[in-house]
Amino acid sequence: MKTRNIVIGGLLTALSIMIPMLFAGTPLMVYLPPGFTATVASHVPSLLAMAISPGVAVAVGVGSALGFTLRTSALVGARALMHAIFGGIGGYAYQKGMPFAWVLVLTAPIHGLLEALVVIPFGLDLYQAFVVTGIGTVIHHSIDAVLTVMVYQALVKFSLLKKPSLAK
């Protein structure tokens, strides 16, 4: 892994830890008991990390899980750990040449399904898991994806991020 990717990964991981630490318990975090939360911009580091590499995306997802577990609960932390899985998938798709916007669209239902499945062992019923958490996550992912595209476009414009070459 390139030194540049390690540094960017570290910065994005730090952001993914800081967002729940700073925003939890404020109006920037929506909480619907028993286990759904939506924190403004919390997906941006994970989504942006997919444009760096699959490994960076996985690391940022783990950082997000750490931040949410420390600041909220193990249930929310387990949901955030799913960022490592969808991030790795999205990072791989991006690396293979899929346009970034399509990566964000592709990963939204994967993200929602993973978060719905991971809350079931915590005792949530199927409605809470698949409707509240699953669909809520897809909506939250989509909103944060819009923010991420704006950041991504600025980074590309200023040559701080390169688009991948098409897969061979």
Cα(167)–Cα(98) distance, integer angstroms:
9
Q: What's the whole-model pTM score?
A: 0.94
Shortest CA distance to 46 belongs to which of 24, 72, 15?
Answer: 15
Query: Each residue of 35-80: pLDDT tens digit?
Result: 899 999 999 999 999 999 999 999 999 999 999 999 999 999 999 9
Q: Which residue type occupies 129? A: A
**Strand 29-32 versus strand 36-39 pairing type:** antiparallel
Cβ neighbour number for residue 88 with a 10 Å cutoff: 21
pLDDT for position 168: 47
CATH topology assigned to domain 3-157: Arp2/3 complex 21 kDa subunit ARPC3 (1.10.1760)
Contacts of 96 (CB under 8 A, 6+ apart): 164, 167
pLDDT for position 136: 96
So where are the chain's domains?
A: 3-157
Shortest CA distance to 84 belongs to which of 106, 62, 68?
Answer: 62
Q: Which residue type occupies 5? A: N
The average confidence (pLDDT) of the chain is 94
Q: Is the pLDDT of residue 140 over 60?
A: yes
Q: Is the pLDDT of residue 128 over 50?
A: yes
Name beta bridge partners: 73: none
Q: Is the pLDDT of residue 167 over 70?
A: no
